[in-house]
């Protein structure tokens, strides 16, 4: 994976291709959600996931002693400031990375390639790992949120995909040292929220995505500009 995002061969991520834009949440809204109906559908699915262990009062979600703003209000009720753009693949999940016969990594499917958020490829890739394997081992949803929050804050957790996720994040920060670390937390939460629209999803996949959404909201509301996992 270090070869894919090698900071010394930044053909797409090079400084010449970077530009500052405003409205990070607006960008992800336009690029991935397309409509109010999709945002509402994703939020309804999150409410359903939480229902078994928590509750909502119409304005906030309550789980394991913590209260969370509704994702649509948190993610899309403010523009979340400026963000850096560059040329990116645009749909870099694990299925779009292949290894050739000579051992070289290659990208496929360039239908979404263009200018976008500098962390977009990284957060798509890390969320794809939440769909590959059940890493929860019967954990309660509240404990999953705590594990994801620990991974955001400290760079470590007991989840099976924790090391892989932290490697992806470290490569993101190595490539884009000037981009706010909270923008990564926001972007990975937004993409996990978007993945809740996938159909069908196994129960464990939905829970792992929901945990990432809630951890991102809590991190961004409480941590300010604290560096993630560093």
Phi, psi of 228 (to 5 degrees): -85, 125
Q: How confident is the model at residue 98 (pLDDT cuts 50, 70, 90)?
A: confident
What percentage of the chain carries pLDDT values higher than 70?
A: 93
**CA dist list (Å): 89 to 23, 24, 44, 123, 124:** 21, 18, 30, 12, 10
Q: Does residue 228 carry a pLDDT above 60? A: no
Q: Which of 22-26, 65-69, 100-104, 151-155 has the lowest mean pLDDT?
A: 100-104
Residue indicated by tokens 């900071």: 7
CB 143 within 8 A of CB 111: no
pLDDT for the residue 219: 96
Res 9: pLDDT: 64
Which is more confident, 2 or 125?
A: 125
| Residue whose structure tokens are 């010449």 | 16
Q: Which residue has the tokens 């409410």?
A: 47
Q: In terms of Cα–Cα distance, which of 130, 148, 97 is closest to 204?
A: 130
pLDDT, residue 18, reads 87
pLDDT exceeds cutoff 90 at 162: yes
**Torsion sign (Cα): 134, 136, 129, 47:** positive
Task: Please answer whether residues 103 and 2 qualify as being in contact, where contact means their C-beta atoms are separated by less than 8 angstroms.
Answer: no
Q: 0.75 exceeded by the pTM?
A: yes
- Is the model's pLDDT at 73 over the cut of 70? yes
216 burial (CB, 10 Å; 0-12 / 13-18 / 19+) is buried
pLDDT, greater one: 44 or 108: 44
Q: Secondary structure of the chain: what % helix, strand, coil (to 5)?
A: 50, 15, 35
Asked if pLDDT for residue 10 goes beyond 90, the answer is: no
Question: Is the backbone of residue 155 left (phi > 0), alpha (psi -120 to 50) or beta?
Answer: left
């Amino acid at each position: 994976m270090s070869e894919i995002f090698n900071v010394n061969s930044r053909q797409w991520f090079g400084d010449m291709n970077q530009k500052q834009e405003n409205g990070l949440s607006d960008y992800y809204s336009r690029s991935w959600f397309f409509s109010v109906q999709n945002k509402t559908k994703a939020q309804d699915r999150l409410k359903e996931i939480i229902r078994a262990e928590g509750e909502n009062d119409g304005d906030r979600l309550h789980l394991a002693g913590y209260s969370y703003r509704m994702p649509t209000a948190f993610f899309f009720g403010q523009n979340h400031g400026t963000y850096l753009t560059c040329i990116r693949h645009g749909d870099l999940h694990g299925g779009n990375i292949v290894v050739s016969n000579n051992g070289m990594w290659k990208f496929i499917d360039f239908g979404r390639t263009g200018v976008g958020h500098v962390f977009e490829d990284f957060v798509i890739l890390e969320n794809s790992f939440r769909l590959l394997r059940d890493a929860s081992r019967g954990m309660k949803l509240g404990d999953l949120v705590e594990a994801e929050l620990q991974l955001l804050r400290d760079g470590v957790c007991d989840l099976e995909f924790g090391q892989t996720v932290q490697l992806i994040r470290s490569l993101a920060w190595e490539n884009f040292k000037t981009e706010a670390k909270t923008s990564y937390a926001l972007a990975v939460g937004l993409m996990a929220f978007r993945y809740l629209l996938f159909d069908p999803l196994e129960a464990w996949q939905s829970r792992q995505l929901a945990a990432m959404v809630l951890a991102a909201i809590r991190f961004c509301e409480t941590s300010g500009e604290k560096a993630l996992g560093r």
